[in-house]
Structure 1
Amino acid sequence: MADELELLRSVDPVRPDGPHFGDGPLDHNAERRLRQLLRDGPDGASGRLRQRPEGAHGRLRDRLLPGPGRSRSRSRSAWVPRLAWGLVAGAVVTTLTLTFVLSGPSTAPAVAAPRPLVIESGSTPLPLDRLADRAAAEAAADGSPRLRKGTHVQSWSLGMADDKPPITLPQERIVRWRPDGSHTELVVATDPRHPGSPVLSDEGDTPRLVHDRHVLLDRTYPPSWSDAPPQSPPPHDPARLRDYLTESQFTDTPLTTPELLDATATLLDHWTLGARESAALARLLAGAEGLRPAGQVTDRLGRPGQAYVNDSRGVRRMLIMDPATGAVLGLESTLTAPEPEFGVEEGDVMSYSAWMR
């Protein structure tokens, strides 16, 4: 560990009195060198900083985090797995390793994994290239939405432990940026499916019931800037957007379709896309291999959408897009095979995000 810390220190030459601030981002040269280190490892070969866990824990992680594009995943505890959204300034990181301790008289009841969204029977699938045409028309219209830094997202994640039933953790996150480069982040425990009802939270690392809209995080961050994706503004050209998303996943190799969908989620966790950026993303997704139209669906916020599905490595990802504008509404990941060790079955929802303007 000591040698890895020294390597990290060596790629961070920012001075405390420098323009990027002592607790701010790396400078541009350091960002590039750090991405290279994370991609290749300290000895020039991938793996030392990106080792995956073995056994059932590793199988679940590999299904949800395929390939080098997800190398930023990290653990908060190395000995009991789970899936959660890590909420930190500037990034939302998925992890499978947080301890759940459910014991004592005040134990919160376990909440079963939500069932996946259902395609409406008899609905006609809309090909992605046609949806991309609609998105392009929306982008050309007067008064179409503009790009805005920040996000408003409702997420559900499934927490798991070897000897406990799975529990579902719903949260809402709002990030707003100011003209001076500072930003605020508000995270609350809430589930719009059950307004006003108590919500299960893992605040303090111990699951418990809290009241609806309970504040988990309310923080203001000092000014910071970066020209590296996903902090830099996304382009509205499909080819350039592909390169942008690839760089945001810390890799130089072309993204697979699951990695492209994960990169899309990363983008939307940082930016509220305008019509031009949504059109570019729709056109890029239209060329993704194995992303097939499935039909009409109503998302978890009650919005009508068109579903596009990709199956890979035991996980089904369902992308939900606005049929009129081509904007991404949500992304759902479900298991296509059971994992008895964790009490999850085929079709259980592992994670879900619903983005709002």
Structure 2
Amino acid sequence: MADELELLRRADPVPADRPPFGDGPLDQRAERHLDRLLHRRPPVSRGRPGTRRPRLPHGPAHGHRARLAWALVAATVVTTITLTLVVSSPGTPPAVAAPRPLVVRADSTPVPLDVLAARADAAAADGLPRLTRGTHVQSWSLGMSEDEPPITLPEERVVRWHADASHTELVVATDPRHPGRPVLSDAGEVPHLVEDGHVISRQTYPPSWSDAPPESPPPRDVTRLRAYLREAASLRTRPSTPELLDAVGVLLDHWTLGARESATLARLLADTPGLRPAGQVTDRLGRRGQAYVYEGAGFRRLLIMDPATGAVLGLEATVTKAEPEFGVEAGDVESYSAWMR
């Protein structure tokens, strides 16, 4: 066993930002979980409404087969992720289940939203870049269940519209934090490892000319944009701050904003209660941004904006109160989206 571990250590060393794994051999429980993960395909289990959390395997342990599988997987470097999924007991989150919340630099100076909105207005003077229909977004979402640990599923989605009003959507499994490594996916309802860049779906949709939000272009007036977001999120009343941030996510999942649209959105956000400037942060794509925080009951929203143009770079939702029934601890990231041009 020591030989396989040394082979794995040389091929794929532990990242500096992760805790080191033990050097000892797998214990009986770890072998049992590894065997279940590698050799069983159980039915799906669902947790909260609106969330999908596949059931992890259950079954008898076979020590010799598990050891042989371990050696084969180590040689292909897949064991790095597999081990982190099986060393935890069923009642605790896997070691890599949820990314930790982004950390705001303590020595940075927070930029008030009205100042950022003024910068966005200045950056939009030439009208470039322009509004584009479609999106390019990297997301991480936490799947939860009452009887299994939560898992984080990273996906990248690219939506492009064509001149005839048809559009294509490409979804791949990838995690830019760990380029080239296998990625956990639940495509097909059962969690399993796939290669980085694995195509989950590729679809082409027929022409659509809907004039209702979020299919219609967003306006460049703050009052009209607020009404647009309310309709896009199907809200009957003026949205609360969390609802407004959710609606911003809906907008950015349909449109890549131009400079003028980003400036309008920045002005709207500057008038939104409860958004506190926090300071500088580096997002999960390595981009520097200004962070704005909204604290709610049991959750935290982190809005990340470009410090020069006011464009929204990302949104993070973090659990601040443990939910033991779902295996979620305070500080787990429930969802994260990073938008790109």
**Conserved? CA contact 1:184–1:220, under 8 Å:** yes
Aligned equivalents of 1:194 and 1:144: distance in 2? 33
Residue identity in the other structure for 2:47: P
Aligned-partner SS, 1:165: coil
Q: Counterpart of 1:164 in 2: which secondary structure? A: coil
Q: 1:299 and 2:283 equivalent?
A: yes
Code of the aligned partner of 1:332: E
Equivalence for 2:13: none
- 1:61 maps to which residue? none
Name the TM-score, length of structure 2 as normaliser: 0.76
Structure 2: runs of 5+ lacking an equivalent: 1-42, 60-65, 70-80, 86-93
In the alignment, structure 1 residue 184 sits paired with structure 2 residue 168: yes
Q: 1:297 to 1:320 in 2, by over 3 A?
A: same
Deviation at 1:98, TM superposition (A): 4.3
* CA distance in structure 2 between the partners assigned to 1:314 and 1:178 by the alignment: 42
Are 1:317 and 1:332, in contact at CA under 8 Å, matched by a contact in 2?
yes
Aligned to 1:102: 57
Residue 234 of structure 2 is aligned to residue 279 of structure 1: no
**2:161–2:168 CA contact under 8 A, matched in 1:** yes
Mapped to 1, the partners of 2:44 and 2:54 lie a distance apart of 9
Aligned partners of 1:205 and 1:301: how far apart in 2? Answer: 28
Q: Is the 8 A contact 1:159 1:168 kept in 2?
A: yes
**For residues 149-188 of structure 1, what are the structure 2 equivalents within 5 Å?**
149-188=133-172
User: 2:44–2:189: 8 Å Cα contact kept in structure 1?
Assistant: no
TM-score scaled by length of structure 1:
0.72
The answer (yes or no) to whether the contact 2:44–2:55 under 8 Å persists in 1 is no
Name the residue aligned to 1:57: none
Distance in 1 between residues matched to 2:159 and 2:97, nearest whole Å: 29
Give 1:275 shift: 0.4
Cα shift readout 1:89-137 (whole Å, capped 9, x = no counterpart): xxxxxx2244434345799634321100000011100000000000000
1:246 counterpart residue number: 230
Residue aligned with 1:193, SS: coil
State how 1:278-357 maps to structure 2 within 5 Å. 278-357=262-341
Cα deviation 1:213-270 (Å, max 9, x = unaligned): 0000111111111010000000011111001001112223111000000000000000
Pairwise CA distance, 1:80: 2.6
Q: Which residue of 2 aligns with 1:137?
A: 122
Distance in 2, Cα, partners of 1:284 & 1:78 = 42
**Separation in 1, partners of 2:105, 2:145:** 33
For 1:304, the aligned partner's letter is: R
Q: Is the 8 A contact 1:314 1:337 kept in 2?
A: yes
Q: Deviations over 1:132-186 (max 9, x none)?
A: 000000111x362100000000000111122222111000000000010000000
1:34 alignment partner in structure 2 = none
Contact 1:82 1:99 in 2 (8 A): no
CA–CA distance in 2 between the matches of 1:315 and 1:201?
Answer: 25
For residues 149 and 250 of structure 1, the distance between their equivalents in structure 2, rounded to whole angstroms, comes to: 20
Partner of 1:119: 104
Inter-partner Cα distance in structure 2 for 1:345 and 1:200: 20
Q: Is the 8 A contact 2:127 2:258 kept in 1?
A: no
Amino acid at match of 1:313: A
- Is the 1:82–1:158 contact (alpha carbons within 8 Å) kept by the matching residues of 2? no
1:81 aligns to what? 47
Q: Which has the larger radius of gyration?
A: 2
The number of equivalent residue pairs is 269
Work out the percentage of aligned pairs sharing the same amino acid. 68
Q: Name the SS for the 2:249 alignment partner.
A: helix
The CA distance in 1 between the partners of 2:302 and 2:112, in whole Å, is 14
Q: Supply the distance in 2 between the matched residues of 1:317 and 1:102 (Cα, whole angstroms).
A: 33
- 1:263 is matched with which residue? 247
Structure 2 CA distance for aligned equivalents of residues 343 and 233 of structure 1: 40
Task: Output aligned runs, 1:55-74, within 5 Å.
Answer: none
Q: CA deviation digits over 1:320-349, x for unaligned, max 9?
A: 000000000000000010111122111100
